[in-house]
Amino acid sequence: MSTLIQPHGSKELNPLFVYDSAQNEKLRAEAQNLASILISSAAAGNAVMLGGGYFNPLTGYMNKADALSVADNMHTAGGLFWPTPVLNLVEDAGSVKPGDRIALKDPNVEGNPVLAVMDVAAVEEFSDEEMEAMTQAVYGTTDPEHPGVAAFNGSGKVALSGAIQVLNFSYFQSEFPDTFRTAVEIRNEIREHGWSKVVAFQTRNPMHRAHEELCHMAMDRLGADGLVIHMLLGKLKPGDIPAPVRDGAIRKMVELYFPPNSAIVTGYGFDMLYAGPREAVLHAVFRQNMGATHLIVGRDHAGVGDYYTDFGAQEIFHDIPEGSMKIEIFEADHTAYSKKLDKVVMMREAPDHKKEDFVLLSGTAVREMLGRGEAPPPEFSRPEVAKILMDYYQSLSS
């Protein structure tokens, strides 16, 4: 039996989903008679992550003191290491007051079913200055054009904090039944495989040759037993490839280019924050909770636009107090196919190369090629993967 890495902040994983079916039914019935609020997509994503054990050991949404403390120094007021505020922000709490038990309605599912039941501990408002300070600390910018900043500041300034009981996993389980997994399920799967050293790879895009080889490289160098490709299934920015297409492309790659039982393809329900370094740390926390011992952090991890430096998401881990997390980081440079060596390499490990010695294509160039029905060169993308993406882009123009 393989010994798995401990979850963050506790000995056992404490998912907030109500697994007991009788109790779940009882709570659903109770929720019909409770006062309810329609929460934001971000708060719904937080509930799904709390439900699945990814946000262990949190027991619900943070209060104002914890959120401000986390933004300021990556610790809650009580001293728990945590990189980003986990909030339920609303424009107006109406008559909701501390001590109330309320139903939280899902904004992302038709009919807005109840996602969770909440025991409200506090109703607190952030000032404009506090919102701005949190935004700057977490996102490194207050630019309203930044998609994460826009989402964070678009839900309201009133925080409802307190413990929650999660009744379902929103649309993730029904729309992605083969891919969506909770941290509990991934731990079980790792256990079944008998893996103990496990590398996690975060993605919100299809994987090209460079990503594939980076996973092989990390596994070889770390002597890992297994790889968990863990894709974001929540809301992205316009223009990103939809999850079912990414899923199909990644599964094809694993099926053809990874040894049997060495990699699993999974996904999680959360909206991308695009918070660069801070989000990289959050990614590490929830990868530890799902049982991974290592997380690959590459160039501009969880970034968007030009808001972050190329390796800020790796550098932040050098500044975190020792022992804050158990998971380790595999630092990856930009990977590309070397024409000289006839293989994918990390660019920093090929100092004798010039730019023209690599096959380098921008995302825009690749999208344009796929849209024209042209496969990118095989050094850049596996032909079987390119075909799935070409079919998708051509369906957009037909």
CATH number of the structural domain spanning residue 101: 3.10.400.10
Tell me, yes or no, whether 152 and 185 share the same domain.
no
Give residue 10's region: left, alpha or beta (phi > 0; psi -120 to 50). beta
Domain finish residue from 131, 149, 171: 171
- Chain segment 293-351, per-residue pLDDT in tens: 999 999 888 889 899 998 999 999 999 999 999 999 999 988 888 999 999 999 899 99
Spatial distance between the Cα atoms of 281 and 320, rounded to a whole number of angstroms = 9
Looking at the fold, whether 104 and 243 belong to one and the same domain comes out as: no
Averaged confidence pLDDT in the chain: 94
pLDDT digits (tens, 9 = 90+) for 259-274: 999 999 999 999 889 9
Q: Is residue 365 part of a domain?
A: yes
- 207 near 229, Cβ under 8 Å? yes
Query: Given a cut of 90, is residue 398 above it in pLDDT?
Result: no
> Does the pLDDT at position 362 exceed 80?
no
Is residue 76 situated within a structural domain?
yes
Q: Judge if 301 and 185 occupy the same domain.
A: yes
Residue 236, pLDDT score = 67
Q: What's the pLDDT tens digit per position in 30-85?
A: 999 999 999 999 999 999 999 999 999 999 999 999 999 999 999 999 999 999 99
Helix, strand and coil percent figures for the chain, each rounded to 5:
35, 20, 45
* Residue 90 three-state SS: strand
Same domain, 222 and 307: yes
Task: Name every residue whose Cβ is closer than 8 Å to that of residue 143 and which is 6 or more positions away in sequence.
Answer: 149, 307
Q: Give the model's pLDDT for residue 205.
A: 84
pLDDT tens-place string over residues 225-266? 999 999 998 876 677 788 889 999 999 999 999 999 999 999
CB 160 within 8 A of CB 118: yes
Q: For residues 301 and 312, give the distance between their C-alpha atoms in angstroms, rounded to a whole number.
A: 8
In a domain, 343, yes or no: yes
**Residues annotated as catalytic (active site), given as ranges:** 204-205
Q: Which helix (H) or strand (E) holds 183?
A: helix 183-193
Domain count, the chain: 2
Which pLDDT band holds residue 23 (cuts at 50, 70, 90)? very high
Q: 216 and 308: one domain?
A: yes
- The set of residues, in sequence order, having a beta carbon less than 8 Å from that of 271 and lying 6+ positions away, is 41, 42, 45, 151, 234, 235
216, 345: one domain: yes
Distance between CA atoms of residues 122 and 98, nearest Å: 5
Residues 274 and 288 in one domain: yes
Coil, strand, or helix at residue 86? coil
Q: Are 68 and 124 in contact, with CB atoms under 8 Å apart?
A: no
Are residues 248 and 186 both part of a single domain?
Answer: yes
Give the pLDDT confidence score for residue 235 in this predicted structure. 72
130 domain-assigned: yes
Please compute Rg for the chain using Cα positions: 21
Judge if 251 and 139 occupy the same domain: no
What local confidence, expressed as pLDDT, does residue 139 receive? 97
Residue-range definition of the domain harbouring residue 121: 21-171
User: What tokens does 363 get?
Assistant: 């995302």
Q: What is the CATH number of the domain that holds 315?
A: 3.40.50.620
Lowest-pLDDT range of 143-147, 291-295, 376-380: 376-380
What confidence category does residue 2 fall into, taking pLDDT thresholds of 50, 70 and 90? low
Q: Would you say residue 4 lies in a domain?
A: no
Q: Are 98 and 181 within one domain?
A: no
Q: Specify whether 211 is located in the same domain as 291.
A: yes
Residue 215 and residue 163 share a domain = no
Q: Are strands 158-166 and 114-125 parallel, antiparallel or unpaired?
A: antiparallel
The encoded tokens of residue 265 equal: 């393809």
Q: Give the list of residues 6+ apart from residue 236 with CB closer than 8 angstroms, or none.
A: 204, 272
| 172-210 pLDDT tens trace | 999 999 999 999 999 999 999 999 999 999 998 889 898
Residue-wise over 201-222: b if at least 16 C-beta within 10 A, else e?
bbbbebbbbbbbbbbbbbbeeb
